[in-house]
Structure 1
Amino acid sequence: MKKVKEQFITYITEYQTEEDLRSIPEFLRKYATRYHHPDFISSDPVQFPHRYSSKADIEISGFLTAILSFGSRPQILKAAERLDAIMERQPLAYVLSEKWKRDFNGDESFYRTVSKSRMAQLFSWLYEIYAEHDCMETALLKLPDGTPLQRLCRLFGVSEKSPQKKLNMFLRWMIRRNSDVDFGIWTSFSPKDLIIPLDTHVSEIAFRLELTKSKSYTLNNAKVITRALAEVFPEDPCLGDFALFGYGVNL
């Protein structure tokens, strides 16, 4: 993975002549098209919610998988596979059964910095949502007006000021439409309201492409990069995520 990322950085650096910079939109379209493809699924954490067909199961699997999506990709997939097995491949039934109280007990690590007690807290939030609502989208619509990210942060009581890469990735999965990778099952929200899931690699590539003047890992920088991508993909700025991140992962 490290070698692949180094090759991509080298490519971008060589590509970035004054003349070629005028072709950055073409570059983004080319690689977004290349990696916005069903083949992307088998090597990405999005494969886990793709195992399900019901809306609630997709939401639950997608949310928990997104929360675990940090660190090396093989380890992410291993942890998500273990979680899927614990849920007996029935996410909604597992949440409502409250078996998670037994399975996730104590401060022992489940995956890296995510402890079992933290997982139990996440399942408790999910239980409250699905005990009252048929889906998470309905729960979000009950909240005061705001962007999808603001609503999701309020629903789970987390900061609205951090980049929230995991939540933005989950939102991308739920909201982007007409996609071979993402689900588009939350029809009450627009893809235009999404923010790119920002990590250090995406920030580095966006900086080298002059989509931003900063490499900072902040919500503001994520918004700056998203606005730049919206100039190329006005109806669907997060399609650019496949160009910035997907290239490095799948080369």
Structure 2
Amino acid sequence: MTGKSLVRYFDKSYLEHLYEQYNDRKFIHPDPLEFLYNYPDLREREVVGIIASSLAYGQVKQILRSVSGILNVLGSRPSGFLKKVTLEELKSVFSNFKHRFTNDKELAVFLSNIGAILRKYGSLNFCFMKSYNKEHDIIPALLSFTRELRAGECDCYNSLVPLPTGKCAYKRLNLFLRWMVRKDNVDIGGWDNIPTSKLIIPLDVHMYRIALEHKLTERKQADMTSAVQITNSFKKFCPEDPVKYDFALTRLGMKSHYLINLERKHK
């Protein structure tokens, strides 16, 4: 069975089958989302979520190790810690930190900016909502949130927070939003003031491969335009929650069972 012959089976019935099969917490590990389950308080959970999602690049073992190390320092109330700590103190306590391209200074500035947001707005959600308009898509609010996370930085490369140009796919920030807005067996939710219909697919290499194979986009770049196109394609299957199948599909892709399972189901 070729990739092209499988296209006709990529429908709502198949996606619902995958969702029922894979959208379960037993498939979470190893995924940085698992850290959020330890924080029942929403304001703590959103801080953990932005840290975990921003570091979600590179090898998964290193991601879990890096996030765990940071959270051990921040303690049981990371929001309270970050609201009180200074940038210099953060530089000192994380002086030996290294996560792939992210060094100690970059992490310290990132955490300091989270603390500044918490002091200014009270929560990450309040910060995000200041630019959110229910009549429009979520991109303007996403870019405004990005600017807050990069406050005081030059317009240069940052391994944790991309430039607010709207050009890249913003995979990690869209992943954070998926975690915080959706609520089911996997995504823990909490941001109830944003409808799931506004979410954009967190476009990683696994989802991009699936999208190209099934003509959800024909763009040759995994950028924001592609992410929106793919999201709109998924809206044909589930308009109220286009990101619903993200976890199940990417889990299947990462486990290299995608074509095998699809063939078995439709023999």
Q: How many residues align?
A: 236
2:246 to 238, 241, 246: 241
CA contact 1:203–1:215 (8 Å) conserved in 2: no
TM-score (structure 2 length as normaliser): 0.80
Letter in 2 for 1:225: I
Q: CA deviation at 1:107?
A: 8.1
Question: Please, what is the CA RMSD of the aligned residues?
Answer: 2.2
CA contact 1:94–1:100 (8 Å) conserved in 2: no
Structure 1 residues 175 and 144, CA, compared in 2 at 3 Å: closer, same or farther?
Answer: closer
Equivalent residue of 1:237, what SS?
coil
2:108 to 116, 120, 127: 120
CA contact 2:25–2:185 (8 Å) conserved in 1: yes
1:23 to 9, 26, 36: 9
2:145 — aligned with what? Answer: 155
CA contact 1:31–1:242 (8 Å) conserved in 2: no
2:265 — aligned with what? Answer: none
Instruction: Name the CA distance, whole Å, in 1 between partners of 2:68 and 2:89.
Output: 19
Structure 1 residues 89 and 41, CA, compared in 2 at 3 Å: closer, same or farther?
Answer: farther
Letter in 2 for 1:48: F
Instruction: Name the CA distance, whole Å, in 2 between partners of 1:52 and 1:149.
Output: 27
Instruction: Name the CA distance, whole Å, in 2 between partners of 1:77 and 1:15.
Output: 36
Instruction: Name the CA distance, whole Å, in 1 between partners of 2:254 and 2:205.
Output: 13
Matched, 1:70 2:75: no
Matched, 1:219 2:218: no
Instruction: Name the CA distance, whole Å, in 1 between partners of 2:204 and 2:4.
Output: 25
Q: CA deviation at 1:94?
A: 1.5
What CA deviation, in whole Å up to 9, does each residue of 1:145-173 have, x standing for no partner?
35434313213314222111010000000
Instruction: Name the CA distance, whole Å, in 1 between partners of 2:146 and 2:227.
Output: 21
Instruction: Name the CA distance, whole Å, in 2 between partners of 1:174 and 1:238.
Output: 12
Q: Considering fraction of residues, name the structure with more helix.
A: 1
1:230 — aligned with what? Answer: 235
Ranges in structure 2 where 5+ consecutive residues have no aligned partner: 148-162, 258-267
% identical aligned pairs = 26
TM-score (structure 1 length as normaliser): 0.85
CA contact 1:59–1:136 (8 Å) conserved in 2: yes
Q: CA deviation at 1:51?
A: 0.9
Instruction: Name the CA distance, whole Å, in 2 between partners of 1:107 and 1:150.
Output: 34
Q: CA deviation at 1:95?
A: 0.7
Letter in 2 for 1:22: R
Q: CA deviation at 1:99?
A: 5.7
Q: CA deviation at 1:38?
A: 1.8
Ranges in structure 1 where 5+ consecutive residues have no aligned partner: 1-13
1:188 to 189, 193, 209: 193
2:181 — aligned with what? Answer: 175
Structure 1 residues 149 and 83, CA, compared in 2 at 3 Å: closer, same or farther?
Answer: farther
Q: CA deviation at 1:174?
A: 0.7
Q: CA deviation at 1:144?
A: 6.0
Matched, 1:81 2:68: yes
Letter in 2 for 1:60: V
1:203 — aligned with what? Answer: 208
2:88 to 91, 101, 108: 101
CA contact 2:201–2:230 (8 Å) conserved in 1: yes
Instruction: Name the CA distance, whole Å, in 1 between partners of 2:218 and 2:236.
Output: 16
Runs of 4+ in 1 over 6 A off after TM superposition: none
Equivalent residue of 1:196, what SS?
coil
Instruction: Name the CA distance, whole Å, in 2 between partners of 1:144 and 1:239.
Output: 21
Matched, 1:58 2:45: yes
Q: CA deviation at 1:212?
A: 1.7
Q: CA deviation at 1:184?
A: 2.2
Considering Cα pairs closer than 8 Å and 6+ residues apart, tell me whether 1 or 2 has the greater RCO.
1
